[in-house]
Structure 1
Amino acid sequence: MKELKHLNKYFKKYWFKLLIGIIITIIARVFSLIMPSYVNKSIQAVEAFVGNTLSKGEAKEILFGYILIIIGAALLSGLFTFLMRQTIINVSRYIEYDLKNEVFDHYQLLSLSFYKRNRIGDLMNRISEDINQVRMYVGPAIMYGMNTLTMFVCIIPLMFIKAPTLAAYTLIPLPILSVLIYQISKIIHKRSTKVQEFLSTLSTFTQESFSGVAVIKAYGLEPKINTELEALALEGKNTSMDLAKVNAWFFPLMILLIGISNVFVIYIGGKQYIDGEIASIGIIAEFILYVNMLTWPVAIVGWLTSIIQRAEASQKRINEFLLEEPSIKNEVTEPTPVTGGIEFKNVTFTYEDTNITALNNISFTIKPGETVAFLGKTGSGKSTILDLVARLYDTSSGQILVDGKPVKEFNLDSLRSSIGAVPQDAFLFSDTIENNIRFGDEHASFDEIVNVAKKAVVHDNIEGFTKKYDTILGERGITLSGGQKQRVSIARALLKDPQIYLFDDCLSAVDTETEEEILNNLKQVSQNKTTLIVSHRVSSAKNADKIIVLENGSIIQEGTHAQLNNIEGYYKELYLNQLSEKE
């Protein structure tokens, strides 16, 4: 159980509630033990009446008193059982809440390289299903474990005190039941794991099919997808049937062994009563009640073992990610203001996952308030420069300076809050258009949102929707076209009003006229703001204060539009080609 030691801090946090819950559990079980003994006493009262040692009135009075005690004990046991669940199960929910927050907070600290190495579905499974398995350990396992322990400690000594021989025979089937349930639980655990793995596979398949439904329809792949789904469904049926066959043994086996224990009670108890070894037949009824009270606690031993095994496995998976150290660390706690000066000094960067060197010993300087455009072929390292400025990665060698200081000496939150980034593949949430733009500044007014939408030339499109700014977007903004998504993302960045703008080919999906209008608006907005523009179009770069052309991670040209257009090279060739295409 070494992996579960991680939860000790939560047990310490909620120790008082857990202690109260355990005490309530013991009280609830003690009250439940009152009923069997008073059933025995009630039968003895009836025997006394039949034997003429009690009058009818006295017998009725005694029975009525015993019935009230039994009902009162049952009500109190039920009340304390309710309070038991309200304490221990609630604590398990608190721990689940805290653990999910811990994992999610750690996810947010981890760098992009971590997300490239791990599947999103796996990350989601660990924060949902795995934590749910751990919750079963910190809640139901503790509650039922204490319940089982209390029942054993109280009932078994009582049984041996009242009738040792009968108690010995009665308890014979119970260890057998516990061992069998444990073995069945192990098999159930293995087959349940296979079912969960299959469900993960099925979810992945259906998610990809739904996401790529346009491609499936365009290529006429429906029959192929149906065949693959049919094969998956057949596999799922067989896996689930294997689990169902084992599950089918659980309760019948338990009922069988309960029945055997009851047979022992009736036969051995009846024989002892006939032989005069026990004074009253009521002891047989009392033992039958004890057997039925013990059966579930005995059966649950195997179930508890299985819960702990699953929790251990799940916590191990959770710990693997919690022990993952973020490669980007915030080493400065105090806020650090940013004015926008950027300098790359002999910067080289290689991606760990692919071992591709995206930048190779590049150097350039951007003054605060300057607009610099980066051009080059796909894979030349343009987007990597923007990622390094936002410190989504750290350089492999060389140094990045912001306002003359190494970027690592800036508070990470201060640095990123001073940046408005617009990626090429704009990500929008399944929310209203208004809230997607408001993501740039949660305190912005509606008029401010409309204003930036106009500057991003998307206001008229939004007004054309039935619900306008209240339009709910589909997953990843699928309701909008590619150009509309890019412009909403630009509006979001403009609303943030940062000190540094990072535009990563964010106008690739709009026409040239709309592009020109947006660029004119951006020129007005970005005055006194440092702006980095990545593009494949000369039209997006020609008005920049400086243009840097990259090839294979190295700078091959640098200058203004006029300077680069007067010399032979990549930029002039690209300009002439795009000019002729436009004409």
Structure 2
Amino acid sequence: MKALKYLNKYLWKYKWYLILGTIFTIISNLFGILPAQLVRYALDLVIETLDVYYLFNDLALQSKMYDIFAFSILLYGLLILAMALLKGIFLFLVRQTIIVMSRHIEYALKNDIYSHYQTLPTSFFRQHNTGDLMARISEDVSNVRMYVGPALMYGINLVVLFFLVISYMVSVNAKLTLYVLLPLPILSVSVYVVNQMIMKRSQAIQKQLSELSTYVQEAFSGIRVIKSFVQEKHSFQNFEIEAEDFKKKSLKLTKVDAFFYPIILLLIGLSNILIIYVGGKEIINGNLTPGNITEFILYVNMLTWPVMALGWTTSQIQRAASSQLRINEFLEAKNTLTSDKNIMMELQGAIRFAHVSFVYPDSGITALHDFDLDIRAGESVAILGTTGSGKSTLANLLGRLYDPTQGEILIDGTPLKDLEVHAYRRQLGYVPQDVFLFSDSIENNVRFGTNDMPFERIERAVKDADLLNNIEDFPKGFQTVLGERGITLSGGQKQRLSIARAIARDPKILILDDCLSAVDTNTENIILNNLKRIMDSRTSVIISHRVSSAKLADRIVMLDDGHIIEQGTHDQLLAINGAYKELYEKQLMAEEA
């Protein structure tokens, strides 16, 4: 139950649902217990009256006795029916409080988890796959809801009913009650042993479910690649393996759950035998009536369903504990990209990398080594280099998706770590290498991150990204809804839309991370000419492996293995006759070919 302590704050928040649900449970159980006493009175009345009734055989008094007797039995029957109706009404109220409370808690917990996910750094999402993240916010939260809803409801019902029934039984005959309760220690031991097995197998199931979800999500995301390589059959076979593993683990848990039902039936049957045997002796000794024995049997059978539900409830609690443990694991993950000073200021755009080194925490790869670079406010700098030279790492560090392992980054002379993260990022325009578009309209994708952007600015940004003609060709224009991850558009169109999204924000610092790799040379020239005008008034960092994208920058920096090997203007670097010139000539020959 340690893992489930996290839910106490939600139970406190919705305490009135829980309090009222408990009160309604007590009342409904009272109306469930009283009919057993009415049955005892009715049965004793029948037994006591029957002999007297036959004594007045063939007499007029016998019919009057019959009328009184029949009326009494009818009255008892109507009272039992009324009790059943009242119990049903209060059971409805129980579900309208405790089950409704569980839905509120489920809603609040999902919101808290999703909100927490949003605060976590990029490194967290590199270390955990999407399927696992989704499983914890869906399947695991559903398991937790079963604990704070049905499991809690049945648990409260069991405790209340057990207390009320045992109290009544003791008041009737303590000796018979003791015999009835003899099987309970065996039940307790059985529940403990089986629970340990349930806990282990539940954790294995949840882990396997995460792996299955991850595989399915990955397969659907890469469905075009699967079809292109004709791997549908192979993909299905892999899915079958994962699903088979999940099935086997679920069946193992089902086998353990199956122990509860026969064990409880056996113990309930044993209790009934003890009632009849011991109760029969008490009747012979004159201590009890047949009505008492019937009442006891009804009480034991009243306990049958709650005690049977004990197995299910225990199983749900164990599953919830296992799921909450997994949820807590992520909720305890902290965001390291915070600011103590939370300085909020309007940026001018001066950037300085001071002895920056960076090692990716998940892979241990060193991307930058003692990196130094000064960028003046309003200056445009192009970062060129081969794959793995550290170009995109610079973009990640500038967006503060990571913090440097060593050294620091200063913006307008202020350490980046001291700036309020969200206020800083709002003044950035970032076009990532891996373009991501949302399943929304083109207009909303450009407007993303702002609420009051005028349409004229959206249209201008799209025109600067050389995408306006393409959008106008769509039947719905700017209201065209994109498919998942922008699948409706071509690769080049997605990159251009991503550029439009960045420049529409009118950012102080513009970061372009290899954003023209999927467009043709003619489109590239149009976009670069438009960008040159846009970049005149702002600090721009252009990351690319293409020389053509770098020529419009005020300064070009050549990277290799996380180090600066050359920097200067296009003409200066050609004169050096080094790595830049070699790259330039190779790409020039490729274009000519």
Aligned partner of 2:398 in structure 1 is 389
- Distance, in Å, in 2 between the alignment partners of 1:267 and 1:471 is 79
For the pair 1:9 / 2:2, whether they are aligned, the reply is no
CA distance in 2, matches of 1:364, 1:239: 55
Q: Residue by residue, what CA displacement relative to the aligned partner does 1:362-412 show, whole Å, maximum 9, x if unpaired?
A: 322222222221111112221122222111122223232111211122111
Equivalence map 1:174-213=2 (5 Å): 174-177=184-187, 179-213=189-223
TM-score (structure 2 length as normaliser) = 0.88
Indicate conservation of the 8 Å contact 2:147/2:320, yes or no.
yes
Matched, 1:411 2:415: no
| Deviation by residue 1:203-223 (Cα, 9 ceiling, x = unmatched) | 333443444444444444455
**Contact 1:440 1:492 (C-alpha < 8 Å) held by counterparts:** no
1:90, CA displacement in angstroms? 2.7
* 2:18 counterpart residue number: 18
CA contact (8 A) 2:132 2:213 kept: no
1:27 aligns with 2:27: yes
Q: Deviation of residue 425 (structure 1)?
A: 0.9
Identify which range, 86-95 or 442-451, moves more after superposition.
Answer: 442-451
Q: In the superposition, relative to structure 1, how do residues 485 and 577 fare at CA in structure 2: closer, same or farther (>3 Å)?
A: same
CA apart distance, 1:297 = 2.5
Deviation (angstroms), 1:504? 0.2
Residue segments in structure 1 that go unaligned for 5+ positions in a row: none
Asked if the contact 1:441/1:495 (under 8 Å) is kept, the reply is no
Give the AA of the match of 2:149: G
Q: Report SS of the residue matched to 2:504.
A: helix
Structure 1 match to 2:170: 160
Aligned partners of 2:201 and 2:252 also within 8 Å? yes
Contact 1:166 1:268 in 2 (8 A): yes
TM-superposed CA distance for 1:562, in Å, is 2.9
Relative to 1, partners in 2 of residues 1:433 and 1:571: Cα closer, same or farther, differing over 3 Å?
same
Distance verdict in 2 for CA 1:468–1:50, change over 3 Å: farther
Closer, same or farther in 2 for the Cα pair 1:338/1:266, shift >3 Å?
A: same
Change beyond 3 A, Cα 1:334–1:513: same
Instruction: Select which of 107, 126, 129 maps to 2:139.
Output: 129
The equivalent of 2:153 in structure 1 is 143
CA shift at 1:292, angstroms? 1.6
Residue of structure 1 in register with 2:59 after alignment? none
The answer to whether the 8 Å contact 1:179/1:302 transfers is no
Change (3 A) 1:275 1:446: farther
Q: Distance in 2 between matches of 1:219 and 1:358?
A: 33
Match of residue 357 from structure 1: 366
Equivalent residues of 1:177, 1:299 under 8 A apart: no
1:333 to partner: Cα distance: 4.0
Q: After TM superposition, list the pairs within 5 Å mapping 1:523-538 onto structure 2.
A: 523-538=532-547
Other structure's SS at 2:408 match: strand
How far apart, in 2, do the equivalents of 1:103 and 1:231 lie?
Answer: 30
Residue 120 of structure 1 is aligned with which of 108, 130, 155?
130
Aligned to 2:86: 76
Q: Give 1:449's aligned residue.
A: 458
Q: Secondary structure at the match of 1:134?
A: helix
**Residue 354 of structure 2 contacts residue 373 of structure 2 at CA under 8 Å; is this kept in 1?**
yes
RMSD between aligned residues: 2.9
Instruction: Tell me whether 1:505 sits opposite 2:514 in the alignment.
Output: yes
Alignment CA distance shift 1:235-1:382 (3 Å): closer
* SS of 1:33 mapped into structure 2: helix
The separation in 2 between residues aligned to 1:207 and 1:322, in whole angstroms, is: 23
Matched, 1:278 2:288: yes
Match of 2:40 in 1: 40
- Counterparts of residues 118-517 of structure 1 (less than 5 Å): 118-177=128-187, 179-266=189-276, 268-269=278-279, 272-273=282-283, 276-279=286-289, 281-333=290-342, 335-517=344-526
Q: How many Å separate the matches in 2 of 1:406 and 1:230?
A: 52
TM-score (norm 1): 0.90
Change over 3 Å in CA distance of 1:445–1:51 after alignment to 2: farther
Task: Point out where structure 2 has 5 or more consecutive residues left out of the alignment.
Answer: 54-63
What SS class does the counterpart of residue 576 from structure 2 fall into? coil
Matched to 2:37, the amino acid is S
Partner amino acid, structure 2, of 1:90: V
Q: CA 1:446/1:252 → structure 2, altered by over 3 Å: closer, same or farther? A: farther
2:131–2:213 Cα contact (<8 Å) kept: no
Question: Does the 8 Å contact 2:429/2:502 carry over to 1?
Answer: yes
**1:357 partner amino acid:** T
8 A Cα contact 2:446 2:504, kept in partner:
yes
Q: What is the CA distance between 1:183 and its match in structure 2?
A: 4.1
Deviations 1:316-350 (A, max 9, x none): 33333333332211323463322222122232222
> Per-residue deviation at 1:161?
2.1
Q: Distance in 1 between matches of 2:385 and 2:457?
A: 35
Number of residue pairs the alignment of both structures matches: 582
- Find the counterpart in structure 2 of residue 580 from structure 1: 589
Whole-Å Cα distance in 2 between the matches of residues 195 and 11 of structure 1? Answer: 27
Deviation, 1:511, is: 0.5
Say whether the 8 Å CA contact 1:182–1:305 is kept in structure 2.
no
Q: Deviations over 1:162-197 (max 9, x none)?
A: 234443444444554454455445444544444444
Distance in 2 (alpha carbons) for counterparts of 1:201 and 1:398: 38
> Match for residue 117 of structure 2?
107
C-alpha deviation, 1:156, in angstroms: 1.1
